[in-house]
Structure formats: structure tokens, C-alpha cells
Amino acid sequence: MIFGRSSPGLIQLNYIFSASHAERVNAVNSAIDWIVLECVRTARDRANRGEDALTNDIIGLLVALGFDATHDTDYNGHCDIVIKGIDGFLWLAEAKVHSTYEWLTKGLLQLLTRYSPGMPGQNDGALIIYHKGPDISRTMDRWRNHLVASEGEGLVAVCDKNPLILNSRHIHRRSGLEYRVRHVPIGLYHDPQD
């Protein structure tokens, strides 16, 4: 009731009162989903920005939502988005401007094999895909096919809340535990026809 219909307020509240790793991950995912909508709403202003500038926009919004979020923090290399929380909570994301599927694969491998420790409470993250061209759906379908070919059919699924987002599961090489990745596109295409 305090926040009424304020999505940012509810996200903050859910994160502050999260009592488990799963609840913290859900709060982070809700924050990322809200940020995606904000970035798409202002695509005209972001279409020509580079990867670091776009990622800093996300960091600024995460911090405003109450997350301990940083950019380029050293976790066996410079990870694009790092969110730390209580009980050793760690959520990491690698961000890439989509150009080729090999470039996206590089980002996924950086997340899985370089940055993430994969320990309990540290086994969720995201690949943020800045999409500057038309037809995100087609790009994500092709990315899904690419992932299925390398990871296997049962390990890649379309998100039930947003058909443009993919979820994948991987066995983390260091920990041997499951590591979950959300593949989240941000549509920055802006080409008005009027």
C-alpha cells in the first residue's frame, strides 16, 4: 500500500524483504525486466550509444532501485554487471551489442567460464543483448537454435513471462552445480517512417 502501483517501489520492497536466493533472483529479474521497458521506451535516445554507456544506464537504474550494482567489477576479469547482496548473494551479467551469434556466444562463455563462481547463492545471471536492428523475435529464435545446437534441447526454454527472453541451464565447470542464465534482449531499434 505504501508504494501503490509503483513498479520500482515494489521491486525495492521485494528485494529488501527477500529471504532466500530464489526471492533475490526474482527481484533482480523483475528489476531487469522493468529496466528493459524503460530502455525500449527511450530507444531513440539510446540507439547510437555504445555497450559501456548502455550498461552504465542499467547500473544507474539498478542502484536507484536499491541494488548494490557495479560495472566492470573484477571477478576473474571485468564483468559488465555485478549485483551483490546478503548471505553471499551474487548475480552477474555480461552485456553485448548484438552483431553476430559468435559474439553472443563469447559473452555467454565469459559469464559461465570466466566471471561466475557458480557457488550456491551465486548461480544465476544474465546475458543482456543490446539489439539495434529490427525484429528481435527473429534474432532470439536464431539465438535459441544456436544454443540448442550447442547445449541441448531440454536446457533452453522460452520465458513464460516474455516470449523474447530465453532461459538456459548449464553445469558450471568450477562448482559442478546448475547455473541459470536469462538471455534478455533490449530493443534499441529506432527508424521512424513518418
Residue 126 has pLDDT above 70, yes or no: yes
Greatest C-alpha distance within the chain: 53
21-37 tens-digit pLDDT: 999 999 999 999 999 99
The torsion angles phi and psi of 129, rounded to 5 degrees, stand at -115, 110
137-187 tens-digit pLDDT: 999 999 999 999 987 767 999 999 999 999 999 999 999 999 999 999 999
The per-residue pLDDT for 2 is: 56
User: Does the predicted TM-score (pTM) go above 0.75?
Assistant: yes
**DSSP result, 17-64:** T--SHHHHHHHHHHHHHHHHHHHHHTHHHHTT--HHHHHHHHHHHHHH
Beta bridge partners of 76: none
- Going by C-beta distance under 8 Å and a sequence separation of 6 or more, which residues neighbour residue 12? 3, 65, 66
Residue pair 125/111 in contact by the 8 Å Cβ criterion: yes
Three-state DSSP class for 166? Answer: strand
What end-to-end distance do the CA atoms of the chain give, in Å? 42
